[in-house]
Structure 1
Amino acid sequence: MAELKQSITFKRGLTLKNRIVMAPMTTSMSFFDGVITSDECAYYALRSGEVGAVITGAANVQANGKTWEGQLGVYHDRHITGLSKLAGSIKQNGTRAILQIFHGGRMTNSKILRGVQPVSASAVAAERSAAEIPRELLPDEILALIDDFKQATIRALKAGFDGVEIHGANTYLIQQFFSPHSNRRTDEWGGSREKRFKLINDLVDAVTSAVDQSGKKDFIVGYRFSPEEFETPGISLDDTLYLIDQLADKPLDYLHISINDYQRISVSEVYQEKPMINYIYQAINGRVPFIGVGDIRSKQQADEVLTTADLVALGRALLIEPHWVDKVFDKKTELIRTEINKYDREELLLGNGVWSFMEGLMPERLIE
């Protein structure tokens, strides 16, 4: 079992100084066109310097991938200057900067897209209130999408990031292609589980080839996934174990689960003897580093996660206490802030987007 203070070196040569990373979280702080703001840079800078790496919130690789107002963009060269400032604000005292790249697919709407219809693997609406029916992507558009993930990676390289994380989780477009709920295609991009994996396979190859062709040896590529869907039909843990088995043999540097409780048990009766994270770690079998996450607040919980993962991602804990890492490493855990109120927002640089995120996910921790 690794320790939180222990460094880790990935396949492509990048070393993190410890096993703690800041999880990707929505900020909604960027300008309308995806350009970074100084407020967003300051927000990340406050939480950098102690963690091994910061994974940014999702940056869309196509204009029609935008999923919320104030979202970061990486779909045009005009974003590179701002992204460079963002990377610089994170890379303090050896902290590494990872840009999460994604496309929202059907999880947006025509209002956010300024009149443009959302797209997805198939013309199937999401099971949520007021969801719009998306337009099914044409085969040549799928190829363009894959190339846009590659171009986004090249921009991240130019901007000075230390890596990218492919966002294949949280029901966004990449996951929509793997899901039998959102992918009803009958061509080479859908149907069987193997065909529904094709987009992921080709996209990972495109992104990793961009890195390898760049000649940069210490730029990493990660992949984030959600273990289950609640739709019927939807992604099951058995599907995810297939996905993990395929990805663990790809030229990726890490895999990263997206889950709100690291102790969550599968809804499948076949996998209820232990938390899902345990099954996934077992399936990876040491082939690639694995990041565990899920409402981790204390050192004890972080240590527990490291029994079934190689790194630990902190989200809300770092929003409330930006100096969580130093206070844990200095054995001053009694000084860790565990509650905040609206008067703490200015000190903690929590904009409206982050505050709404926190109110939605952790109302019991907020004091009005």
Structure 2
Amino acid sequence: MSSEKYAQSFTFPSGVKVKNRFMMAPMTTKMSFYDGVITSDELRYYYIRSKEAGAIITAAANVSDNGKGWEGELGVSNDLHIPGLAQLASAIQINGTKAILQLYHGGRMTHSSILRGERPVAPSAVKAERPTAEEPRALEEEEIYQIIEDFKAGTIRAIQAGFDGVEIHGANTYLIQQFFSPHSNRRDDIWGGSVENRYRFIDLLVDGIIETVKEEAEEPFLIGYRFSPEEYETPGIRFNETLYLMDQLASKELDYLHMSLGKYNQVSRLEDYQEKSMQEYVYETIDGRVPFVSVGDIRDSKDAKEAIKSSDFLALGRVMLADPHWVGKVLNNKDKWIRQTVSEEEREELVLTNGVWGFMKNMMSDRLK
């Protein structure tokens, strides 16, 4: 068994203990029923990737009915989801792997066809820069507070279903990020304008979930937060604003901060931040106040050793789609046995349907054919 840092156990600030520093990253599956109830295929997909990793983070589960982003999306917006979520938590928790439910609202990154005719909502009535985008409706203030309540209710359902924690999905241009972004948030009230005002929604949301866990959880229950460090739109989130966000969140009672990136050693687009990777800058800004999870194109033990130098945990995406036993092979120094490609014939065995197969084909064609 490896003696590397990534093989070591760890106890989060909440008291949740994991057996190693590997997490399966959240990836869109599109396997759930139309109403957000989990399917047997989805349960099997998670089950075969459990056992070895320290924790598995589920695909995004929408906390509000108007937050659904795509068909086949997992739901946590209603009590009817709890029985299936309980099955999901149990399927993941084999051999001590921790189960983390990702909580999310799609905001403007959805479509009226997904919402059955209802118009998408966002901080402001500004379309996303993508071909099929619709102009969303700007949220009223009471609706903003209601969405915070929806996240808190989703957290309670995750606790009732037996999960070990939740991850707040503040990345990938969805609603939480939309509040922080000057592209999607053009409000002139307390929720928009300055970076401090654009942070307000995140501030209240995170505090609300922390208090909910304190009130409702009888066992240690962790809270993570995922973020994207930069946006390509103009105006958009720039890396210096993300470092401000990290400084704020690192002072809260969170268990980890999790960056969403395609490559763990990716460099910022800002000229002032190109001497090191964004991961290294974030790690320095956090300065040990909260555990940090890196992600992005970690293919083997060599990548893992490099990425863990400036992080506390490693999140794994496509490698765990291709090889559910990737973690075990790396921990036992058996890199040469890692499955590198997936054929059409192997899809069923690996439960690679719908979203995850599209993810592999479209984003990872250099590795998985």
Indicate the TM-score class for this superposition, using the shorter chain for normalisation: over 0.9
| Residue 2 to residue 286, structure 1, CA distance change in 2 (3 Å) | farther
Match of 1:4 in 2: 6
Q: 1:266, 1:317 → 2: CA distance?
A: 25
Q: 2:301, 2:162 → 1: CA distance?
A: 31
Secondary structure of the structure 2 residue equivalent to 1:312: strand
Match of 1:144 in 2: 146
Residue 365 of structure 1: CA displacement? Answer: 2.3
Residue 330 of structure 1: CA displacement? Answer: 1.8
Residue 2 of structure 1: CA displacement? Answer: 6.5
The one-letter code sitting in structure 2 at the alignment partner of 1:97 is A
The one-letter code sitting in structure 2 at the alignment partner of 1:133 is E
Query: 1:1-368 residue pairs with structure 2 within 5 A?
Result: 3-367=5-369
Q: 1:239, 1:271 → 2: CA distance?
A: 12
Q: 2:287, 2:325 → 1: CA distance?
A: 33
The one-letter code sitting in structure 2 at the alignment partner of 1:33 is D
Assess if the C-alpha contact under 8 Å between 2:227 and 2:259 holds in 1: yes
Residue 256 of structure 1: CA displacement? Answer: 0.2
Residue 215 of structure 1: CA displacement? Answer: 4.2
Instruction: Please give the per-residue CA displacement for 1:314-364, whole angstroms capped at 9, x wherever unaligned.
Output: 010000010011111222211110111111101111112211111111112
Assess if the C-alpha contact under 8 Å between 1:2 and 1:306 holds in 2: no
The one-letter code sitting in structure 2 at the alignment partner of 1:238 is N
Q: Which runs of 4+ in 1 moved over 3 A?
A: none
Give structure 2 stretches of 5+ with no counterpart.
none
Secondary structure of the structure 2 residue equivalent to 1:307: helix
Assess if the C-alpha contact under 8 Å between 1:117 and 1:135 holds in 2: yes
Root-mean-square deviation over aligned CA pairs: 1.0
Instruction: Pick which of 340-349 and 172-181 moved more.
Output: 340-349
Assess if the C-alpha contact under 8 Å between 1:12 and 1:217 holds in 2: no
Assess if the C-alpha contact under 8 Å between 2:124 and 2:136 holds in 1: yes
Residue 274 of structure 1: CA displacement? Answer: 1.0
The one-letter code sitting in structure 2 at the alignment partner of 1:182 is S
Instruction: Please give the per-residue CA displacement for 1:133-169, whole angstroms capped at 9, x wherever unaligned.
Output: 0000000000000000000000000000000000000
Q: 1:2, 1:174 → 2: CA distance?
A: 35
The one-letter code sitting in structure 2 at the alignment partner of 1:297 is R
Instruction: Please give the per-residue CA displacement for 1:161-191, whole angstroms capped at 9, x wherever unaligned.
Output: 0000000000000000000000000111111
Give structure 1 stretches of 5+ with no counterpart.
none
Instruction: Please give the per-residue CA displacement for 1:73-120, whole angstroms capped at 9, x wherever unaligned.
Output: 000000000000000000000000000000000001111111010000
Assess if the C-alpha contact under 8 Å between 1:2 and 1:310 holds in 2: no
TM-score, normalization: structure 2? 0.98
The one-letter code sitting in structure 2 at the alignment partner of 1:129 is P
The one-letter code sitting in structure 2 at the alignment partner of 1:301 is D
Q: 2:18, 2:123 → 1: CA distance?
A: 36
Assess if the C-alpha contact under 8 Å between 2:340 and 2:368 holds in 1: no
* Matched pairs, number: 367
Residue 366 of structure 1: CA displacement? Answer: 3.1
